């Protein structure tokens, strides 16, 4: 009888299809992602790229002309940065060309809007916002520049004195 019970259990067990399968493949694959970011140093003159100072009265020649927020510079940088300003020439160009006393760049004074003193413009790049030792944080935004121009009575009348100013954003 024991043999019959064992044989019955064996037949029953053989008739039941209970399969156990092992998992094939990887249920949690991984991937590597790389990100590359190029250096961004962008500076644009958004307002004030063509300024005019018209000395059409004695009072203006005596006092000079101030233009606050005369130029607005828009920057974008993903590095610490600062901005320099410089004249492209030591003297103004003039349409008549025969002025015995060329007008120097230094008749233009500049400062960051809200600053207390004007610095005479020169051909030496000078810090406008930030310095090599004290850079501004990465990001984007705007800065504004005030100008004060006072040629006085030293220079001949001219309708077309011109000066190019260069702004530079740098990380160096």
CB atoms within 10 A of CB 131: 12
Q: Region 86-95: what's the mean pLDDT?
A: 92
Q: Are 129 and 71 in contact (CB under 8 A)?
A: no
| Domain presence at residue 66 | yes
Residue 150 has pLDDT above 60, yes or no: yes
CATH of the domain at 116: 2.60.40
Residue 142 has pLDDT above 80, yes or no: yes
- Reported as a pLDDT band with limits 50, 70 and 90, residue 163 is very high
| Domain presence at residue 144 | yes
Higher local confidence (pLDDT), 6 or 118: 118
User: What pLDDT digit, counting tens, does each position of 107-135 carry?
Assistant: 999 999 989 999 999 999 999 999 888 99
Q: Which of 42, 114, 44, 107 is nearest to 77 (CA)?
A: 42
| Domain presence at residue 34 | no
Would the pTM count as exceeding 0.95? no
Distance of alpha carbon 113 from alpha carbon 122, whole angstroms: 19
Q: Are 110 and 118 in contact (CB under 8 A)?
A: yes
Quote the domain boundaries for residue 126.
41-49+56-152+161-170
Number of structural domains (the chain) is 1
| Domain presence at residue 70 | yes
């Amino acid at each position: 009888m024991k043999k019959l019970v064992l044989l019955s259990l064996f037949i029953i067990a053989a008739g039941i299809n209970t399969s156990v399968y092992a998992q094939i493949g990887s249920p949690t694959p991984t991937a590597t992602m790389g990100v590359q970011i190029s250096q961004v140093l962008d500076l644009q003159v958004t307002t004030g790229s063509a300024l005019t100072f018209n000395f059409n009265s004695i009072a203006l020649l005596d006092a000079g002309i101030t233009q606050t927020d005369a130029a607005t510079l828009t920057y974008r940088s993903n590095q610490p940065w600062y901005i320099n300003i410089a004249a492209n020439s030591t003297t103004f160009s003039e349409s008549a060309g025969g002025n015995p006393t060329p007008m120097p760049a230094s008749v233009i004074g500049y400062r960051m809007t809200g600053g207390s003193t004007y610095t005479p413009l020169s051909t030496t790049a000078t810090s406008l916002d930030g310095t090599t030792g004290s850079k501004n944080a990465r990001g984007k935004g705007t800065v504004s520049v005030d100008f004060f121009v006072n040629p006085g009575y030293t220079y001949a009348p001219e309708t077309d004195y011109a000066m190019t100013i260069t702004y530079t954003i740098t990380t160096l």
